[in-house]
Amino acid sequence: MSPVFHFTPGRLPLLVSMPHVGTHIPDDIAQQLNPVAQVKADTDWHLPQLYNMLQELGVSVLQATHSRYVIDLNRPADDLNLYPGQDTTGLCPVDTFDKQALYPEGGAPNAAEIARRVAAYWQPYHQQLQTELARIRAQHGIAICWDAHSIASHVPRFFEGRLPDLNFGTADRRSCAPGLQTALQQTLLQSNQAHAFSHVFNGRFKGGYITRNYGQVAENIHAVQLEMSQCIYMNETAPFDYRPDLAAQIQPVLRQLLATCLNWADSPDSATPRGGV
């Protein structure tokens, strides 16, 4: 069995999680899927390459290896809809973002199969995530989880028009201390490189299960999700090529944002846990 994740421990109070970068689909599951699944269009493509500064920064990194079509690691294990009243994909998706069926009619995974996937793929990733955040918190007195994502800039199923370039989610300021969100906003406003990119906080994407579950401000564990429009660093049509020329423009901004998290963690503002507003 292929490993469920790749993990690199760091020395600083920041963990970068990438739950949707995996592309592996085990043979037994692949045989159940329609051919469209092999395109894997809904992958958060190339994020490890885009975030090429993580090793140099010395932060912890957790990367999924399996496709979100196997199981979505950013959904709760009970498959509760994180956006009530809005169209979303589930814990074990049955269709693509373009509403193409992933399974033949009547072939969607049943409750037993979903439970098997939760045990085999979902639980190990979340156990590692929880363990590492607890270790960081114990060592540094504070932990920050940066949940890294990307998505096509136009997905009519979820939003009208073009998505902003940088979509930050802090569960409406509940998953991190207000000071951290303010520091990130100030970085975006003050950075010359960031001015080229549009951004929004808690717009269409407010943060998924990882952000909402692990952001525990009272315990001085803070979580921020960044959902990037893929057009700012890659081609959005198959074969979804990485664009180094585009990536070079956003990478300095990502470095600045991660540095902001680390600087804030080391500032007096982070010393006392406080609730969101």
- Record: fold of 5-270: Aminopeptidase (3.40.630)
Amino acid identity at 77: A
What's residue 98's pLDDT? 95
- Closest to 42 measured CA to CA, from 110, 114, 94, 82: 94
What's residue 272's pLDDT? 52
What's residue 270's pLDDT? 78
State how far the Cα of 266 lies from the Cα of 241, in Å rounded to an integer: 38
What's residue 86's pLDDT? 79
Pairing status of strand 60-64 against strand 5-8: antiparallel
Amino acid identity at 188: L
DSSP per-residue string spanning 134-197: HHHHHHHS-EEEEEEEEE-S--TTT-SSPPPSEEEE-TTTTSS-HHHHHHHHHHHHH-TTGGGS
What's residue 83's pLDDT? 79
> Block means of pLDDT (10 residues each) for the chain, length 277 residues?
93 98 98 97 98 97 98 94 82 96 97 98 98 98 98 94 97 97 97 96 95 97 98 97 98 98 91 44
